[in-house]
Amino acid sequence: METDEELMAAVARGDERALVVLIERHAARLHGFLSRFARDRDDADDLLQDTWVRVARGAKSFDPNRRVRPWLFGIASNLARDLHRRRSVRLRASHEGSGEVAAAAQRAVLRPLERMDLRERLARLPERLREVLVLRFYEGLDEAEMAEALGVPRGTVKSRLHGAIRELRRGWEGA
Partner 1 sequence: MICDTVQERLDELALARTLEAGVASEGLHAHVGQCGACGSHLHFLQQLGDALADGAVEPVAPAVVSAAQRRAARVLRARAEPRGLGRELGAALAVALLALPLVVVHAYLVVEGAAWLLATWVPEPVLAWLGVVYLASLALGVGALYGIIPLAVASRRRSPMETA
Binding region for partner 1 (CB under 8 A): 11, 14, 16, 19-20, 23-24, 27-28, 31-32, 35-36, 41, 44-45, 48-49, 51-53, 55-57, 59-60, 117-119, 122, 133, 136-138, 161-162, 165, 168-169, 172-173
| Nearest distance in Å: CB 66, partner 1 | 19
Q: Which residue lies nearer to partner 1 by CB, 95 or 121? A: 121
| Nearest distance in Å: CB 16, partner 1 | 5
Q: Which residue lies nearer to partner 1 by CB, 130 or 148? A: 130
Q: Which residue lies nearer to partner 1 by CB, 25 or 95? A: 25
Q: At what angle do helices 68-95 and 143-150 cross, to 10 degrees?
A: 50
Any idea how long the chain is?
175
Q: Which residue lies nearer to partner 1 by CB, 102 or 118? A: 118
8 A C-beta contact, residue 90 and residue 42: no
| Count of C-beta atoms within a 10 Å radius of residue 79 | 21
Q: Which residue lies nearer to partner 1 by CB, 24 or 100? A: 24
| Nearest distance in Å: CB 44, partner 1 | 8
Q: How far is CA 70 from CA 64, 96, 139, 141, 155, in A?
A: 13, 38, 11, 8, 17
- Tell me the backbone φ, ψ of residue 26, rounded to 5 degrees: -115, -5
| Nearest distance in Å: CB 100, partner 1 | 33
| Nearest distance in Å: CB 19, partner 1 | 6
- Tell me the backbone φ, ψ of residue 162, rounded to 5 degrees: -70, -35
d(CA 33, CA 16): 25
